[in-house]
Chain A
């Protein structure tokens, strides 16, 4: 049973445009959400997070939006750059889970120059 779903396996955007990466979850207990970025042959690196008490968190070119009623979150990258090309994982956890993360399958983002 996949509790964190990233239904689109890949996304291709033009440099300078917006990239929107989507993630859905099914477990109502989740109250903390994260995005990780992964380059080939490297481990995932933490990108941005959001608590369920917020609906938006912004860090430079990266913004995460949370819609709790729809159990949906999205990562916006504006403007997209070729260096953003990577696999992006959505992850979720909940209070009391001892920071155990449940990951989605990942989305491969390609930013075309």
Chain B
């Protein structure tokens, strides 16, 4: 079974620029998550999709972050404009169902904002 694919692996941008991350979940996984992991902290949920609908985006800074999961498969997470404090690893994860705790995480995208 192929894992969760994320790209790019690394990204360096200047503050106020925009950036987008892409995630392809495991085939057949209905639930998709984006987590933000700041250095020295645990992952924090940004947004959760069930198919192409948003289940939870309560911790997504909506003034600058947006995410979509068109057709209920791939997902993109965008930051516009980026701030220095957005430097983090952005992890995508997927699971079979909404109440399934055993996520499979991708390797993440490491974002550095300078």
Q: A residues within 8 Å of B by Cβ?
A: 4, 6, 32, 34, 41-46, 49, 89, 91, 93, 98-101, 103-106
Known: A49-B101, A91-B42, A100-B56. 9 other contacts (CB 8 A): A42-B107, A43-B107, A89-B42, A99-B48, A99-B95, A99-B98, A99-B101, A101-B101, A105-B42
Residues of B contacting A6 in the complex (Cβ-Cβ under 8 angstroms) = 42
Count of interface residues, chain B, beta-carbon cutoff 8 Å: 26
Residues of B contacting A103 in the complex (Cβ-Cβ under 8 angstroms) = 42-44
CA distance A49 to B4 in the complex (A): 21
Q: Whose C-beta in chain A lies nearest to the C-beta of B101?
A: A99
Q: B residues within 8 Å of A by Cβ?
A: 4, 31, 40-45, 48, 50, 55-56, 91, 93, 95, 98-108
Residues of B contacting A49 in the complex (Cβ-Cβ under 8 angstroms) = 101-102
**Contact call B55/A98, Cβ cutoff below 8 A:** yes
CA distance A49 to B55 in the complex (A): 23
CA distance A49 to B102 in the complex (A): 9
**Contact call A106/B42, Cβ cutoff below 8 A:** yes
CA distance A106 to B42 in the complex (A): 6
A4 touching B102 in the complex, CB below 8 Å, given contacts A43-B93, A43-B107, A100-B48 = no
Contact of A104 among B42, B50, B103 (CB under 8 A): B42
**Contact call A98/B107, Cβ cutoff below 8 A:** no
Residues of A contacting B40 in the complex (Cβ-Cβ under 8 angstroms) = 105
A–B pairs, 30, beta carbons within 8 Å: A4-B42, A6-B42, A32-B101, A34-B101, A34-B102, A42-B107, A43-B4, A43-B91, A43-B93, A43-B108, A44-B105, A46-B102, A46-B103, A46-B104, A49-B101, A98-B55, A98-B56, A98-B99, A99-B31, A99-B48, A99-B95, A99-B101, A100-B45, A100-B56, A101-B45, A101-B101, A103-B44, A104-B42, A105-B40, A105-B42
